[in-house]
C-alpha cells in the first residue's frame, strides 16, 4: 500500500494559472508549486511539459508528485503544450519543432524568475519523457538534468507507430486518441468568454494525426526528428531513464545506457506504463525519494549518493503463471556498472526439428505458414496496469506456431538484455512478417511469454530502404527481441515460437506467406547473466509514497475489457477492446470529465485483406451549471494489396448543440508494409 505523506521540509504554495510568454507572443498556461519562501530563498525549477491538460485530465496524477517536489525545495512546473488545455496557439504534431522550441523557451523563462536559482531540470513520462530528452538535445543553458520515464530515443523503431518495420495498430488507436485530445476546449474559467471562439479555431485546425503518421511508413525525416539516437552527443545534461518490463517503452534505456556520454542512470522495474511511485505490477518503490535525490545532486550540488550507485538497476523477474494482469511480480534487484555488462554472455541454442539444442542439428527445412489469427493472445503493446492487457497462456498461440523447446533445465538460468534470433530462410512471397516469442514453459505445460519481437522482412537490412524478398531465395535475417530480465527455473523449458503475423498487434502483410527456415543454420542467443553477490548489497529503493491525492469524486471508475467473438460460418473473428476512462469530478474546480475508446478489430480466415480496424473515442468536459462539451471521433482503417484506406469523422458539441463536424477520406500507398 502506497504511503501518503502530508508533511514536508517546506510549506507549499500553488500558483494557478501562470502565463509563460513565447517569443512569437503566444502564452502557455502553467501551474507552479513553490516552497512558500521561494521569493526570499530561490530554488531550482523542474518542468513537466505535456498536452494532457493540467487542470483536469492530469490534475489527480500531478497532485502526487509536484507538491512533493515543492515540499523538498523545488519549483515544480506543469505546463500545457501550445494549443492544448488553456495554452494559446495551435497544436500541429507530437514533438514538433515548435513544441521543442517552446520547451527551450519555457526553461529560459523559468531560469530568469526571481524565485529560481537559474538551474532547471525537466521530467516526464511517455510524451513528457520523450520531449525532455529532445529538449535536452537542444542544450538549453539552464538545463542540468532530466528524468525520462517510459520513453524512447528512436521514434520509428521503438514507438507506438511501427515495430520492426511493421505497422502497429496502436498507430490508429493512439492517433485517434490524440486527435480527439487536441480537439478539447479551453476552460472558460481560465480564458473567459472567448473560450468557444478559441475552441472552434482549434477544431478547424486540428490535425488528422493517423493520416499524417501513416504517410511515413519507413524511417524518414518525420521519425528522425526528435529521435535522440541520431546524435547522443547532443545531450550534455545528466539523464535518468526509468521504465518497466511490462511497458512498451523499455529498450531505449539499454541503448542510451550503452551510447550516452553524458552522466546516466537507468532503472527498470516490473512496471507497466506509469511512474514508479504509482505503478503496477508491484513492487512499487519510494520513487519520489529517488527523484529528489537525483535533483538534489544535479540541481543543488548536494552529494545524495545517487551517482555512486550502479549505472543500471533492473528487476530480475522470477517465473510466474500466465495472467492477463498482475498485482505483483516476484523477483530481486540486480545491477550493472556498465552496459553492455561484460559479465553477460550469449548462450546459443540451435534450432532443430526436435527442439532447441546446444549443438547444430541436421540441415533440414521447416515451414512456418501461420493463419490470420496468429498473435491473437498477445495483449496490449503498451499496458497501463489494468485488466486484460497482458498476454494470456501462450499454449494456444504456441500451437499455431513453429515452436522449438529446450529440454527441461537442470539448473537456474537468468537472462538480462535482448535475446536474438538469427534465421536462414526463404519465403514464397515478396513481403512477409515474423512474430517471434520467447516463452517460459512450466512443468504443468503453462506457457508464459517472456519477450517478443516482430520484423517486416522487407526491412531485414534496415528501416530506411525496404527491400522486397525474392521468392524462393535464401536470406539471413536477425530478429532482436525486446530487452527482458527473467529467471528460467529448474524443471522449466525454454520455448522459441515463430509465426508469420500477429493480429491485431500489427497490420498483416497483403498476402498469406510461407517461410521456410533452415534449422541447422538458425539459432536463438540468450543473454545469460550469472548471479552476483554484489546484488545483495544494493541499497533499498524503499516503499511507495506520494503527496496527498487531489480530492475527486468518481462517478464511474476506469474500466478495461477485451472480448473475442468467432463466426464459424463466415470464418470472421472480431476482437473488441473497451478502454473507459470513467467519469471524474475534481472538487477543487467542479470540473467533470469522462470518456474513453472502443477498438474493434475484424479479420476473416485466409484473407489478410479482410482486416479492418475501427476506433471510436469520446470525451466530455463540463462544469455545472452551464458548461457541457463533448467531442466524438471515429477512425476506420482497411487496406487493399497496395493501399491503405482511412476514413474518419469528428463532431464537437456545446450543450445539446452540434457546433462543428468534419470528415476525412485518405488513400495512402502501402510502402512495403
- What average pLDDT does this structure show over 659-665? 98
Domain with 523, as residue range(s), is 345-531
Share of the chain above pLDDT 90, in %: 98
| Other CB atoms within 10 Å distance of the CB of residue 107 | 24
- Whether 419 is in a domain gets the answer yes
Domains of the chain: total: 3
- Whether 11 is in a domain gets the answer yes
**Residues 155 and 171 reside in one and the same domain:** no
Looking at residue 350, its pLDDT comes to: 98
- What average pLDDT does this structure show over 401-420? 98
- Whether 253 is in a domain gets the answer yes
- What average pLDDT does this structure show over 298-309? 96
Alpha-carbon gap, residue 240 to 254, rounded angstroms = 12
Alpha-carbon gap, residue 278 to 61, rounded angstroms = 9
Share of the chain above pLDDT 70, in %: 100
Looking at residue 194, its pLDDT comes to: 97
Helix 59-71 and helix 287-300, axial crossing angle in degrees, nearest 10:
50
Looking at residue 362, its pLDDT comes to: 86
Among residues 284, 307, 336, the one where a domain terminates is 336
pLDDT tens digit string along 253-297?
A: 999 999 999 999 999 999 999 999 998 999 999 999 999 999 999
**Residues 297 and 385 reside in one and the same domain:** no
- Whether 536 is in a domain gets the answer no
- Whether 541 is in a domain gets the answer no
- What average pLDDT does this structure show over 423-432? 98
Instruction: Supply the CATH number for residue 306's domain.
Output: 3.40.50.1820
More confident residue, 536 or 148: 148
**Residues 476 and 403 reside in one and the same domain:** yes
- Helix, strand or coil for residue 444? coil
Residue 363 has pLDDT above 90, yes or no: no
Looking at residue 1, its pLDDT comes to: 76
Alpha-carbon gap, residue 630 to 594, rounded angstroms = 9
- Helix, strand or coil for residue 68? helix
Give the CA radius of gyration of the chain: 25
**Residues 223 and 171 reside in one and the same domain:** no
Among residues 336, 371, 398, the one where a domain terminates is 336
**Residues 34 and 49 reside in one and the same domain:** yes
pLDDT tens digit string along 23-62?
A: 999 999 999 999 999 999 999 999 999 999 999 999 999 9
Alpha-carbon gap, residue 441 to 326, rounded angstroms = 18
Angle at 159 between CA 171 and CA 108, to 5 degrees: 110
Average pLDDT, the chain: 98
Q: Which of 288, 291, 250, 252 is nearest to 271 (CA)?
A: 250
Among residues 336, 369, 397, the one where a domain terminates is 336
**pLDDT bucket at 148, cuts 50 / 70 / 90:** very high
**Residues 238 and 113 reside in one and the same domain:** yes
**Residues 113 and 17 reside in one and the same domain:** yes
Query: What is the bridge-based pairing of β-strands 420-427 and 484-488?
Result: unpaired
Three-state secondary structure string covering 519-535: HHHCEEEEEECCCCHHH
Alpha-carbon gap, residue 467 to 456, rounded angstroms = 10
**Residues 517 and 388 reside in one and the same domain:** yes
**Residues 26 and 172 reside in one and the same domain:** no
Looking at residue 30, its pLDDT comes to: 99
pLDDT tens digit string along 179-192?
A: 999 999 999 999 99
- What average pLDDT does this structure show over 196-204? 98
- Whether 546 is in a domain gets the answer no
- Whether 537 is in a domain gets the answer no
Contact (CB, 8 A) for 348 and 358? yes
- What average pLDDT does this structure show over 457-463? 98
Phi/psi at 395 (5° precision): -60, -45
**Residues 83 and 64 reside in one and the same domain:** yes
Looking at residue 552, its pLDDT comes to: 98
In 32-165, where does DSSP find H-type helix?
59-71, 97-111, 127-136
**Residues 173 and 308 reside in one and the same domain:** no
- Whether 154 is in a domain gets the answer yes
**Residues 524 and 456 reside in one and the same domain:** yes
Q: Which helix (H) or strand (E) holds 585?
A: strand 572-586
Looking at residue 594, its pLDDT comes to: 97
Amino acid at each position: 500500500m502506497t504511503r501518503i505523506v502530508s508533511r514536508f521540509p517546506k510549506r507549499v504554495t500553488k500558483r494557478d494559472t501562470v502565463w509563460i510568454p513565447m517569443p512569437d507572443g503566444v502564452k502557455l498556461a502553467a501551474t507552479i508549486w513553490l516552497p512558500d519562501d521561494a521569493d526570499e530563498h530561490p530554488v531550482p525549477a523542474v518542468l513537466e511539459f505535456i498536452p494532457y491538460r493540467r487542470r483536469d485530465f492530469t490534475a489527480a496524477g500531478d497532485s502526487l508528485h509536484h507538491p512533493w517536489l515543492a515540499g523538498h525545495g523545488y519549483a515544480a512546473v506543469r505546463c500545457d503544450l501550445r494549443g492544448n488545455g488553456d495554452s494559446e496557439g495551435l497544436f500541429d504534431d507530437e514533438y514538433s519543432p515548435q513544441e521543442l522550441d517552446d520547451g527551450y523557451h519555457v526553461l529560459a523563462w523559468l531560469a530568469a524568475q526571481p524565485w529560481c536559482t537559474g538551474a532547471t531540470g525537466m521530467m516526464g513520462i511517455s510524451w513528457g519523457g520523450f520531449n525532455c530528452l529532445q529538449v535536452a538535445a537542444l542544450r538549453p543553458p539552464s538545463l542540468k538534468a532530466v528524468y525520462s520515464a517510459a520513453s524512447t530515443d528512436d521514434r520509428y523503431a521503438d514507438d507506438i507507430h511501427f515495430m520492426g518495420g511493421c505497422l502497429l495498430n496502436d498507430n490508429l488507436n493512439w492517433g485517434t486518441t490524440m486527435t480527439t485530445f487536441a480537439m478539447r476546449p479551453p476552460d472558460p474559467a481560465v480564458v473567459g468568454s472567448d473560450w468557444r471562439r478559441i475552441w472552434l479555431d482549434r477544431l478547424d485546425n486540428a490535425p488528422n494525426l493517423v493520416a499524417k503518421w501513416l504517410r511515413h511508413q519507413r524511417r524518414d525525416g518525420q521519425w528522425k526528428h526528435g529521435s535522440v539516437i541520431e546524435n547522443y552527443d547532443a545531450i550534455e545534461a545528466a539523464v535518468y531513464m526509468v521504465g518497466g518490463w511490462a511497458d512498451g517503452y523499455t529498450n531505449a534505456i539499454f541503448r542510451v545506457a550503452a551510447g550516452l556520454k553524458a552522466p546516466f542512470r537507468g532503472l527498470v522495474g516490473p512496471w507497466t506504463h506509469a511512474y514508479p511511485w504509482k505503478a503496477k505490477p508491484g513492487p512499487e518503490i519510494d520513487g519520489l525519494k529517488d527523484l529528489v535525490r537525483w535533483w538534489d545532486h544535479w540541481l543543488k550540488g548536494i552529494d545524495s549518493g545517487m551517482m555512486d550507485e550502479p549505472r543500471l538497476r533492473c528487476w530480475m523477474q522470477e517465473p510466474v503463471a500466465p495472467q492477463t494482469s498482475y498485482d505483483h511480480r516476484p523477483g530481486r534487484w540486480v545491477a550493472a556498472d556498465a552496459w553492455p555488462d561484460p559479465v553477460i554472455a550469449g548462450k546459443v541454442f540451435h534450432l532443430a526439428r526436435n527442439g532447441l539444442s546446444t549443438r547444430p542439428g541436421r540441415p533440414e527445412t521447416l515451414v512456418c505458414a501461420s493463419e490470420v489469427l496468429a498473435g491473437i493472445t498477445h495483449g496490449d503493446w503498451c499496458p497501463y496496469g489494468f485488466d486484460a492487457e497482458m498476454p494470456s497462456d501462450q499454449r494456444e498461440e504456441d500451437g499455431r506456431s513453429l515452436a522449438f523447446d529446450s529440454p527441461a533445465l537442470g539448473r537456474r538460468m537468468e537472462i538480462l538484455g535482448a535475446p536474438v534470433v538469427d534465421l536462414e530462410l526463404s519465403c514464397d512471397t515478396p513481403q512477409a512478417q515474423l512474430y517471434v516469442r520467447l516463452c517460459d514453459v512450466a512443468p504443468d505445460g503453462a506457457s508464459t511469454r517472456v519477450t517478443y519481437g516482430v520484423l517486416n522482412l522487407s526491412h531485414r537490412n534496415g528501416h530506411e530502404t525496404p527491400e522486397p524478398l525474392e521468392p524462393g531465395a535464401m536470406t539471413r535475417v536477425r530478429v532482436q527481441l525486446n530487452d527482458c530480465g527473467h529467471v528460467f527455473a529448474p524443471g522449466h523449458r525454454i520455448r522459441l515460437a515463430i509465426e508469420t503475423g500477429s493480429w491485431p498487434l500489427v497490420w498483416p502483410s497483403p498476402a498469406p506467406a510461407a517461410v521456410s527456415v533452415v534449422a541447422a543454420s538458425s539459432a536463438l542467443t540468450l543473454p545469460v547473466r550469472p548471479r552476483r553477490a554484489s546484488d545483495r548489497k544494493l541499497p533499498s529503493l524503499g516503499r511507495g509514497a506520494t503527496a496527498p491525492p487531489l480530492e475527486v469524486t468518481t462517478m464511474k471508475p476506469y474500466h478495461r475489457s477485451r472480448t473475442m467473438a468467432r463466426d464459424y460460418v463466415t470464418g470472421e473473428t472480431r476482437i473488441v477492446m473497451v478502454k473507459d476512462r470513467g467519469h471524474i469530478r475534481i472538487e477543487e474546480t467542479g470540473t467533470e470529465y469522462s470518456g474513453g475508446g472502443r477498438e474493434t478489430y475484424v479479420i476473416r480466415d485466409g484473407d489478410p485483406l479482410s482486416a479492418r480496424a475501427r476506433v471510436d473515442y469520446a470525451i466530455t468536459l463540463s462544469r455545472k451549471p452551464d458548461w457541457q462539451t463533448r467531442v466524438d471521433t471515429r477512425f476506420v482503417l482497411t487496406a487493399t494489396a497496395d493501399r491503405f484506406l482511412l476514413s474518419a469523422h469528428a463532431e464537437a458539441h456545446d450543450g445539446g448543440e452540434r457546433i462543428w463536424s468534419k470528415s476525412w477520406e485518405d488513400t495512402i500507398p502501402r510502402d512495403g508494409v
